[in-house]
Structure 1
Amino acid sequence: MDPVSGLQRARRVVVKVGSALVAGSGGGAADSAWLAAFAADAARLRARGQQVLVVSSGAVALGRRRLGLKRKALTIPEKQAAAAAGQSGLMRAWEEAFEPHGLAVAQVLLTRDDTEVRRRWLNGRATLETLLDLGVVPIVNENDTVVTEEIRYGDNDRLAARVAQMIGADVLVLLSDIDGLYTADPRRDPAARHLDRVSRLTPEIEAMAGGANAGAGVGTGGMATKLAAARIAQSAGCATVITLGARPSPLLAVEQGERATVIEPGTTPSAAYKAWIAGSLAPGGALIVDAGAAAALCKGKSLLAAGVRRVEGRFGKGDAVIVRDETGVEIGRGLCRYDAADAERICGLKSDAIEATLGYTAGPLIHVDDLALAARTEA
């Protein structure tokens, strides 16, 4: 992928912004000048029809200043307190940055379970997609006020990759304190060579990354975590761009040919997602559909309750299920938006009768985006 055309063609772009960029080195406030310039850069993408999501660090860095916590190593309760104190300032800074461009922002706080547990994953994805469709710029951060070392991501590079995977992003941009991946740390080795493009993350490539960034004074990431994030994104069909963040318009700089490293995707986001559904999830039950529904599914339609004849097994909302026709032939596998009990209650019902029956509606039983057809049924 060429970084210029890749960014210009991407439908969805996730940008990870680290603490060093958000908090800067000043007193207790965020770096409003950098944030304003970045917001203008992101608004440029929005103006040409692209959806932008920001994964932003900085709550702990801002909060520790507000609380006067000057020690470098904080305890977990101190980090949680700092996150609580800093999160409001972080969001206020982002709101002020995007407001001149007529763009609303929305705070989304996630934990690892929100991207690992299927029901929560589906809920999180639905929220993010709704925000993006409404023209909002989601500002995502780890919910540091409640997570512990055992259940946290530990860095927002990995969180950004999981979010990119969750929403089917085309490009993940990781803003760094360096303009990409080198064969060695160029600050220590003047002979280090910059890598413009990486197609496979081999052990040799990963060995080129050092440890966490000790020079910035804030943040926990480094090139090693960025390559770990790129591996997640690559498997999800998302390209990763690593570039220098400490310039006013880092996305424009990439489009203008400034130095960056591109880690190419292994497939497309849609193909990766459907392969995950088809081969990586143990089905919890089955939905038996009539001939009309079977034909509609093979033509790329969602599975509506009206076409379901019966439900087999016990499964929860968001679990994988097999879809079979009435002769027992498997049509595909998908993530069901209702649990087994509710799916049984709405079998055969038209869409406008679901809410009256259940008291809520989650749309079709299986949305076409969450359905992987069996190979023999593919057009």
Structure 2
Amino acid sequence: MTNLSKTISFFLPNFNCGGVQRLVLNLSYSLSQQKNQIDLVLIRSVGSFMSQIPPSVNLVDLKKPRLRQAIQVLGQYLREKNPDALFSFMSYNDPISVLAKSLYHVKTKIILGLHSDLSQQKTPPFLQHPLAHLGLTPDQPKLLMQWFYPWANAVVAPSYGVANNLAQMAKFPLEKIRVIYNPVITPEIFEKQQQMIQHPWFEIDQPPVILGVGRLIPHKDFFTLIRAFAKVKEQISCRLVILGEGEMRRELEKLVQALNLTHDVDLLGFTDNPYAYMKQAKVFVLSSNCEGFGNVLVEAMTCGTPVVSTDCHSGPREILNHGKYGHLVPVGDAGKMAQAIVEVLTGNSKKFDINWLNQFTLDTVTQKYIDLLN
């Protein structure tokens, strides 16, 4: 792998549990191992992934400035440190990155990346900012993208679906968007999946466990997974475990109670080792109504677990090779999801070629980012 020996910065709002944070965590580690200086620049130095930042990565805390202050503080950082490149992977940080470079006249390459499918995410009206309809807010940044993306040195997307969506929203040439899959498969997965699980449902001779992993937020749609599980349980003795924490916990618990599933569904909260659960589960299910990529599908497949996923825009179909390596079901369809889960539990899972997963390894993806920087 080519050695860059560069200073590379990653700019994020925080380091909470999320796909983008996991991407940055993995890339930071891999690039720092090649003697590159890595700065993790956070608007707020908080989040459940803070404890996992490698010692080789330098943490820069901007201490929660407002928008105008963030531009100033980031610009001062860029002028002082003058990194070779700054990656911004979240839409609400992108304008700050572009403006900071422009106003402070630095040579740092700004690389923007949209890692979610904004066209499919629906923000409830009561949560929307008054300027949302103008495309001037983080949840609806259409106009902001059209203004600022042309000023980036490079634009990255984690899937071809996101690239197409980004090109349409930002009116940005599709051929100028570099698609680089997320670096999901790391040595850590192989180590952690071997750890023991201290949970009675995973002991020998227990009913099979269906697993879901993700933040308890609307677009992960664990409601459909729970309803599908209720239908599966009518046919097969089984249990459901969901790993993750978030704002929808109470509503999900209410649904579990309403369906009389309190003894068969366990919302275990966040864990820094979901891989041991993936290894022991009989089927992994992604129930999202939209995804930028779908890291957890790759993680489950790496653990050797059959998968069922919604055919949501835009990552799962690409990861599962158009359904060849896992069951794809319509978004929000608990009945079809239940049928697919039953198929797997009765021995009709879809096998996948282990070589297919090579494109999602940390080494492969890191080299693609090195090529981009060069």
Q: TM-score range by the shorter chain?
A: under 0.3
For the pair shown, the structure with the greater C-alpha radius of gyration is 1
